[in-house]
Amino acid sequence: MGKSTNRLGTRYGWTIRNKLEKIERKQKELYLCPECNKRSVKRTAVGIWECIKCHVKMAGKAYEL
């Protein structure tokens, strides 16, 4: 169990906490920007991604670009 799911304690079962940890790891990861080709795209909201370097906003999936 990772740091992101420690807030849940022993609730909800191991399988659900493990799936949640994988999803949260994907959404907090930095992705490659199609404009400036740098790994600097971060999730700002559900389905909205923004590059930290060139400030280009784009639409994508909810948890990964």
Rounded Cα gap, residues 36 and 26, in angstroms: 21
SS3 assignment, position 42: strand
Q: In the prediction, which pLDDT does 10 show?
A: 87
Model confidence pLDDT, tens digit, residues 7-52: 888 899 999 999 999 999 988 999 999 999 999 999 999 999 999 9
Label residue 37 left, alpha or beta by phi (over 0 means left) and psi (-120 to 50 means alpha): left
Q: State which H helix or E strand residue 28 sits in.
A: helix 14-28
Q: In the prediction, which pLDDT does 45 show?
A: 93
Q: In the prediction, which pLDDT does 2 show?
A: 66
Q: Is the predicted pLDDT of residue 1 greater than 80, yes or no? A: no
For the chain, which domains are there? 6-59 (2.20.25.30)
C-alpha Rg value of the chain to the nearest Å: 14
Q: In the prediction, which pLDDT does 31 show?
A: 95
Tokens of 37: 């080709």
